[in-house]
Structure 1
Amino acid sequence: MTRETPSDEGTELGRFLRARRARLTPGEAGLAAGSGIRRTPGLRREELATLAGISVDYYVRLERGRETRPSASVVDALARALRLEEDEHDHLRTLAARAGRGTPEQPTTPSRTVRPGVKLLVEGLRPYPAHVLSRTTDLLAHNPGGLRLLAGMDSWPVKERNIARYAFLHPVAPDLFDDWGNQVRGCVARLRTLAGTDPDAPDLTRLAGELLVKSRDFARLWERYDVRGRSHGRKTFHHPEVGDLTLGYQSMELEGTPGQRLVTYYAEPGTPEYDALVLLDILGSQTSAAGAAKAEHHL
């Protein structure tokens, strides 16, 4: 059995409905448990159709991509039946609207150029680690601590530095992140959200295709079809150079450059975590200086 990639036949609307139907048990949906062995891991099509108040035939056509213009009331009824949260409900609306447009839109190629003012801002946040990410989590810019916090990332070529690739494929990542499972779920959720609006985008298909082949964990989470990504909170790291530290973080969309996000981590001055960030900044600066000197020597 081959694994799905973002460009497989069918609609994202159908994929999303299948994935979420498979995750919801009859008990969670408020249905009485029936007798006998169920062959379906989640809800059957006819059960979801009944809960949403639509015909089974209509629902099957929706899931198979033969019906592409569900009304707003049908979308809302499916969201209620599937127990979707607000972000997931919004994603379902987006998928339905996209399916209704008929002719697929041309995939977009967002700019990877980070504006000079944004680079100055990233540098000015020191000693707080900060980096700029593309919509597929490529590392486009960073200050010394922003790279050093991701232990071992600096050993990869610049063009391969990607947060999702790092989280799933770098041997240090599972030990670095205290809650690695939550970290990777967030990475996949962001990529899945992008797949709903731009499924054939080259940057997405390349990354997702690579990770589907190289990581069983990624393939499993991709099939779950989570679409939520946290933009702020706290993360705990077990860093090999500065020890354990719990940091606040904030992710911000950069207006004027679609798809780019600024992510920064922070700690209260005077705390052990802040001192650790200062040390990370120093270590990162030393590595950057050594790399620049080496490059100049080879000119």
Structure 2
Amino acid sequence: MTAGRPLGDYLRARRELIRPEEAGLPAGNGRRRVAGLRRSEVAMLAGISTEYYVKLEQGREIHPTDQVLEALSRALQLDATARSYLASLVHLPHVETGPKRELAHIRWLIDGWPLTAAVVHDRYNDIVASNALMRAIVPAYREGANSLAALLLDPEVRALYGDEWDGLTARSVALLRANSGPQPYLVRTQQLIAQLTRESPRFREVWPRNDVHGAGDGVHHLAHPRVGALSLRFARFPVLGPGEHSIFVYYAEPGTPTADALAVLAREG
């Protein structure tokens, strides 16, 4: 993103990902000079003037109405998460500048879950706490590390996720953008983006797409070097109160081979 122009950058990135035929427009003959849709085509689909749309992309207009945002969301085929993200780029929230919240009580909580792995992230995927079982499953997910950097840069983490790595990295990068969208130019955001742009080819591939993703729940299939195949359910729980932290938990259905494997990891450490 260009400093000071998050809305325009996002509109342009999404426009470039849509082929004319996907929007119900003729592809035309010959080679198009732009990737995806033209500005005039997005404006037509949204029912606004091309001049006004150009101002939005160039950052000369930064306060479109909710009706315009809804029309742009339809034109750019945004899902619910992406629509919310687009709105957040216009309705910027107040930025808290106070001291970091003390999370000792959260550490006590997750340390009391011997058979449930847990890690606490802030909005940048920096790990502020993890319990023993989490570190036994993914040693790189330790306090002070960044889980997205570990996922993208650590070969042991990549091997652990196997065939899921491509999809997981795409969703994780999209989650970073969703979390940082309202305040994309905070120092920590820029530090992380700069590091991953420099060190990770996968990040350089995915980040420019401007995808956004909301964390939910599901199942990870891992290949653990000590206990073999794991089918771990996962879920995210936001931590209420000041700050923007979430607890990610990983657990197994009782009586399954994965539950037995977690018991071995918990016992052996």
In structure 2, the partner of 1:129 is: 117
Q: Structure 2-normalised TM-score?
A: 0.93
- Can you give the 5+ residue segments of structure 1 that lack an aligned partner in the other structure? 285-299
Quick one: distance in 1 between partners of 2:248 and 2:183?
A: 23
Runs of 4+ in 1 over 6 A off after TM superposition: none
Partner amino acid, structure 1, of 2:259: Y
Residues 215-262 of structure 1 deviation map (CA, whole Å, 9 limit, x = unaligned): 121122110111113321111111111111111111110001421111
The Cα shift of 1:107 comes to 7.0
In structure 2, the partner of 1:13 is: 7
Residues 189-211 of structure 1 deviation map (CA, whole Å, 9 limit, x = unaligned): 12212332111222211111111
In structure 2, the partner of 1:283 is: 268
Quick one: distance in 2 between partners of 1:195 and 1:259?
A: 11
In structure 2, the partner of 1:291 is: none
Determine helix, strand or coil for the equivalent of 1:172: helix
Of 116, 136, 139, the match for 2:127? 139
Partner amino acid, structure 1, of 2:80: E
Q: Structure 1-normalised TM-score?
A: 0.84
Determine if contact 1:50/1:56 at 8 Å carries over to the other structure. yes
Determine helix, strand or coil for the equivalent of 1:28: helix
Of 197, 200, 212, the match for 2:197? 212
The number of residues matched between the two structures is 268
Please say if 1:202 is aligned against 2:187. Answer: yes
TM-aligned CA distance change 1:253 to 1:33, over 3 Å: same
Of 225, 235, 238, the match for 1:250? 235
Partner amino acid, structure 2, of 1:146: M
User: Which structure is richer in relative contact order (CA contacts within 8 A, separation 6 or more)?
Assistant: 1
TM-aligned CA distance change 1:180 to 1:132, over 3 Å: same
Partner amino acid, structure 1, of 2:13: A
TM-aligned CA distance change 1:241 to 1:253, over 3 Å: same
Determine if contact 1:49/1:55 at 8 Å carries over to the other structure. yes
Please say if 1:64 is aligned against 2:24. Answer: no
Quick one: distance in 2 between partners of 1:148 and 1:142?
A: 10
Determine if contact 1:13/1:95 at 8 Å carries over to the other structure. yes
Determine helix, strand or coil for the equivalent of 2:103: coil
Quick one: distance in 2 between partners of 1:283 and 1:139?
A: 23
Quick one: distance in 1 between partners of 2:99 and 2:260?
A: 37
In structure 1, the partner of 2:148 is: 164
Please say if 1:113 is aligned against 2:97. Answer: no
Q: How well do the aligned residues superpose, as a CA RMSD in angstroms? A: 1.9
Partner amino acid, structure 2, of 1:61: K
TM-aligned CA distance change 1:34 to 1:56, over 3 Å: same
